[in-house]
Amino acid sequence: MDDLVNVESVSRRFPLDSSPAHHSAHRFVCALSDANLRVSAGEFLAISGPSGSGKSTLLNLIGCIDQPTSGRIRIDGVDASELQPNAMTTLRRKKIGFVFQTFNLIPVFTAAENVEYPLLIQGVPRDERRRRTEEALDSVGLSTRAQQRPDLLSGGERQRIAVARAIVHRPALVLADEPTANLDTHNAKQLIDLMRDLNIRLGLTFIFSTHDARLLEHTPRIVRLIDGQVISDTCVEGVCHG
């Protein structure tokens, strides 16, 4: 079976000075250095490490939000490293779902409208949009909150809505950036259980960045970063590719 995600010798550098005249090799910071990572479909994987270790950088590269300075990234067989912006956007919309630590829900939309929005962008017919939205809300246990706006939902409910939105278009991969960072212990545990259930029951592939010990306790594979480098790839269950 081909890898769903294949990160090959990927580095990402950012200029310290925005002036083109100062773009020398000595004025760049290396956020990620020669990273390698292979992820099969159906895995549940955490990218862990302290602040500034490169977690978000790696997640953004896998999510086709950014492109590497060097190296290659393949997503479901597609080389994302050389795609033009429009093609990257298309790949991202079709193949990847995102869960953000700040929820990123549209405040004037109801929960159902927030979940439905990715399908609207993709031009999915109305009846199909409504059916998939209902299924996604049901899968996160929030069918009864469909018509509530985000300001009337708890933090845990908002993050569940964010998860429903991430999976409604049936992506190959779900990426979550510090998904429990803004949740108390009770809601964090509920979210962890939900994501793991979706992973097992629906076969959804999850990759998330975290330094939350509560989440790492329930993660079968943990990739650790320090100073932009992968220092370990540990499997509690199954076989690692790392």
Helices and strands (H, E) in the chain, number of each type:
7, 10
- Of 78-87, 106-115, 140-149, 159-168, the poorest mean pLDDT is in 78-87
pLDDT at 171 over 90: yes
Angle between helices 111-121 and 155-167 (to 10 degrees): 20
Is residue 92 situated within a structural domain?
yes
The total of structural domains in the chain comes to 1
Mean pLDDT of 77-95: 91
Please state, in angstroms and rounded to a whole number, the distance separating the CA atoms of residues 183 and 152.
16
111 assigned to some structural domain: yes
Whether 87 maps to a domain, the answer reads: yes
Identify whether 18 is part of a domain.
no
User: What is the residue-wise DSSP string for 101-136?
Assistant: TT----TTS-HHHHHHHHHHHTT--HHHHHHHHHHH
Residue 212 lies in a domain: yes
Residues 25, 96 contacting (CB under 8 angstroms)? no
How confident is the prediction for the chain on average, in pLDDT?
91
Percent of the chain surpassing pLDDT 90: 78
What are φ and ψ of residue 185, in 5° steps? -60, -45
- The answer to the question of residue 189 being in a domain is yes
Residue 113 lies in a domain: yes
Considering only residues 27 and 43, tell me which one the structure prediction assigns the higher pLDDT: 43
Q: Give 237's pLDDT tier (boundaries 50, 70, 90).
A: low
Domain of residue 53, CATH code: 3.40.50.300
Binned at pLDDT 50, 70 and 90, residue 242 comes out as very low
Residues 161-187, mean pLDDT to the nearest whole number? 93
Please report, rounded to a whole number, the percentage of residues in the chain having pLDDT higher than 70.
Answer: 93
Domain that holds residue 143: 41-70+83-235
User: Is the pLDDT assigned to residue 212 strictly greater than 90?
Assistant: no
Q: Which of the four pLDDT bands, split at 50, 70 and 90, describes residue 106?
A: very high
Instruction: For residue 109, tell me if it sits in a domain.
Output: yes
